[in-house]
Amino acid sequence: MDRTVDPGRTSPFHWNEEVRPGLRVAFTAVAAGNLALHVGDDPDAVRQSRRRLEAALGIRAESLRFMSQTHSDRVALLGASDRAGRVPPDADAMVSATGSEPLAVLVADCVPIVLADADPDDGGTGATAVVHAGRAGVANGIVVKAVGELRRRGAGTITAWIGPSVCGSCYEVPDAMMIELAREIPVAASRTPAGTAALDLPAAVRHQLAQGGVTVEELRGAASSCTQENTALFSHRREPGAGRLAGLVWRP
Ligand SMILES: [Zn+2]
Distance 109 CA to ligand 1 centre (A): 10
Distance 226 CA to ligand 1 centre (A): 5
Distance 168 CA to ligand 1 centre (A): 6
Distance 94 CA to ligand 1 centre (A): 27
Residue 10 pLDDT level (bands cut at 50, 70, 90): confident
Angle at 213 between CA 19 and CA 133, to 5 degrees: 75
Q: What is the CATH number that goes with domain 10-166+218-250?
A: 3.60.140.10
Residue 41 pLDDT level (bands cut at 50, 70, 90): confident
What mean pLDDT comes out for the span 202-214?
98
If DSSP codes are grouped into helix, strand and coil, which group holds residue 20?
strand
> Domain ranges in the chain?
10-166+218-250
- pLDDT of 1 strictly over 60: no
- pLDDT of 25 strictly over 80: yes
Distance 200 CA to ligand 1 centre (A): 10
Closest CA relative to residue 82, chosen from 99, 60, 65, 69: 65
Distance 78 CA to ligand 1 centre (A): 34
Distance 117 CA to ligand 1 centre (A): 30
Give 112's strand partners: 132
pLDDT per residue as tens digits for the range 70-95: 999 999 999 756 555 578 999 999 99
What pLDDT sits at residue 5? 45
- pLDDT of 31 strictly over 50: yes
What pLDDT sits at residue 79? 73
pLDDT per residue as tens digits for the range 97-141: 999 999 999 999 999 999 999 999 999 999 999 999 999 999 999
Distance 192 CA to ligand 1 centre (A): 9
Distance 140 CA to ligand 1 centre (A): 23
User: Ligand 1 (ion): which residues have CB within 5 A?
Assistant: 167, 170, 226, 228-229
Q: Which of 7-11, 187-191, 239-243 has the highest mean pLDDT?
A: 187-191
What mean pLDDT comes out for the span 212-237?
95
Distance 165 CA to ligand 1 centre (A): 8
DSSP label at residue 58 = T
Residue 9 pLDDT level (bands cut at 50, 70, 90): low
**CA distances (Å), 45 to each of 8, 33, 103, in order?**
19, 9, 20
pLDDT per residue as tens digits for the range 182-197: 999 999 999 999 999 9
What pLDDT sits at residue 8? 56
Are 148 and 211 within 8 A, CB to CB?
no
Q: Give the other-Cβ count within 10 Å of 149's Cβ.
A: 20
